[in-house]
């Protein structure tokens, strides 16, 4: 199988490429990534000379480039490339529309022209908006609240339309919040771990009672591998972990494991449009494919903490660049 992975130098994409090369000894992966602030070739340093792996620096909104690339022949495209941070989308939504909407449209046109046999759109539970009770099923309405979520919902709708109109073999997955190695330290879990290691303040938005369902990235990659092989065109598959936690619970738990004081937490003003709760109903993928997350939160979070402790130079380089303390631009200490 010849895969084209977009955005493979980011967090989930790089974990996915590692996972696929390990699980499928005959598969080949080409990774196209623009290398934005979030893309980092160090994530793939260990496989850069692997004969089954090729890297192409490029932008998925570039029609000619995508056309050229697809003429090389691929069996499947897995579209991770995106602007992915809600706080950045609040400051400037433009790159979110460019990459997440326009970029997806360019890829879909490429699938149409080159008759690629499978297109996997990596989406998010954030397209469903916020639910205080009940969980999101694949039939839940799309009610995005952040510019990020709206741009992902837009690309999901394009996927739906290209399936309905052109019968393209498109499958969409919507996963909950991922955590694990190589996550850019502007997202909550790596931000908490790296700030705690440096004894720096940890901003808690609002009352800290917002709920997310946290999944270890390798479990997500395993779900994607299954959906890639067994998923039905036109279908949507939710992926989650039944592991809901409030931000306060999560931060306190991490500080406890790291033996750091709770007074590192600083309550700051709330994120505008802050979704109260995301909760995934993953009955469909469980019953159709027998998939379930296999990493307990205890194991996943302790692996992740160890990874950040052992890879300090990785995150120190990033933190000294275009990163973190976004809250200082958007949120004020209360």
Residues at the interface with ligand TYD (CB under 6 A): 86, 126, 177, 187-188, 191, 203-205, 210, 212, 247, 271, 327
**CB 295, min distance to ligand NAD, A:** 15
Quick one: which H or E segment has residue 228?
A: helix 217-230
> Is 125 a residue of the active site?
yes
Smaller CB separation from ligand NAD, 37 or 267: 37
Distance of CA 72 to the CA centre of its chain: 27
Smaller CB separation from ligand NAD, 69 or 260: 69
Q: Cβ–Cβ contacts within 10 Å for residue 155, how many?
A: 27
80 is in the binding site of which of ligand NAD, ligand TYD, none (Cβ under 5 to 8 A by kind)? ligand NAD
Widest pairwise Cα distance in the chain: 57
Smaller CB separation from ligand NAD, 74 or 184: 184
d(CA 99, CA 148): 11
> In sequence order, which residues have a C-beta less than 8 Å from that of residue 199 and are 6 or more positions away?
260, 264
**CB 152, min distance to ligand NAD, A:** 5
**CB 8, min distance to ligand TYD, A:** 20
Quick one: which H or E segment has residue 170?
A: strand 170-175
**CB 85, min distance to ligand NAD, A:** 7
Torsion of CA 279, 39, 157, 241, to 10 degrees: -20
Smaller CB separation from ligand NAD, 88 or 260: 88
**Residue 332: burial class (beta carbons within 10 Å; 0-12, 13-18, 19+):** exposed
Q: HSE-up of 92 (CA within 13 Å, CB side)?
A: 7
> Is 126 a residue of the active site?
yes
> Is 156 a residue of the active site?
no
Choose the catalytic residue: 59, 83, 87, 125.
Answer: 125
Binding residues for ligand NAD, per CB under 6 A? 6-7, 9-13, 32-36, 38-39, 59-61, 80-84, 99, 103, 122, 124, 152, 175, 177-178, 184
Choose the catalytic residue: 33, 59, 83, 126.
Answer: 126
Catalytic residues, by residue number, are 125-126, 148
């Amino acid at each position: 199988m010849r895969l084209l992975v977009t955005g493979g130098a980011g967090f989930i994409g790089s974990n996915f490429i590692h996972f696929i090369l390990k699980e499928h000894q005959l598969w080949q992966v080409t990774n196209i990534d623009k290398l934005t602030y979030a893309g980092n070739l160090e994530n793939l340093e260990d496989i850069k000379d692997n004969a089954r792996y090729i890297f192409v620096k490029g932008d998925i909104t570039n029609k000619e480039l995508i056309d050229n690339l697809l003429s090389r022949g691929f069996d499947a495209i897995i579209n991770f490339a995106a602007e992915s941070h809600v706080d950045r989308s609040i400051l400037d939504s433009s790159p979110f529309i460019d990459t997440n909407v326009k970029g997806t449209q360019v890829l879909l046109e490429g699938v149409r022209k080159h008759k690629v046999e499978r297109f996997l759109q990596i989406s998010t539970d954030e397209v469903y908006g916020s639910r205080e009770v009940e969980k999101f099923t694949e039939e839940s309405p799309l009610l995005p609240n952040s510019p990020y979520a709206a741009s992902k919902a837009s690309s999901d709708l394009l996927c739906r339309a290209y399936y309905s109109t052109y019968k393209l073999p498109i499958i969409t997955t919507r996963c909950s919040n991922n955590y694990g190695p190589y996550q850019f330290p502007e997202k909550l879990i790596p931000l908490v771990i790296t700030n705690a290691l440096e004894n720096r303040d940890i901003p808690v938005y609002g009352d800290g009672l917002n709920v997310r369902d946290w999944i270890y990235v390798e479990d997500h990659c395993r779900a994607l591998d299954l959906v890639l092989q067994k998923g039905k065109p036109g279908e949507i598959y939710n992926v989650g972990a039944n592991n809901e936690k409030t931000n306060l619970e999560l931060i306190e738990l991490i500080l406890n494991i790291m033996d750091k004081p709770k007074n590192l937490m600083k309550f700051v003003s709330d994120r505008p449009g802050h979704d109260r709760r995301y909760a995934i109903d993953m009955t469909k993928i469980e019953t159709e494919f027998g998939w379930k997350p296999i990493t307990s939160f205890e194991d996943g979070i302790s692996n992740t903490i160890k990874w950040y402790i052992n890879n300090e130079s990785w995150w120190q380089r990033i933190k000294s660049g275009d990163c973190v303390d976004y809250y200082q631009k958007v949120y004020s200490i209360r």
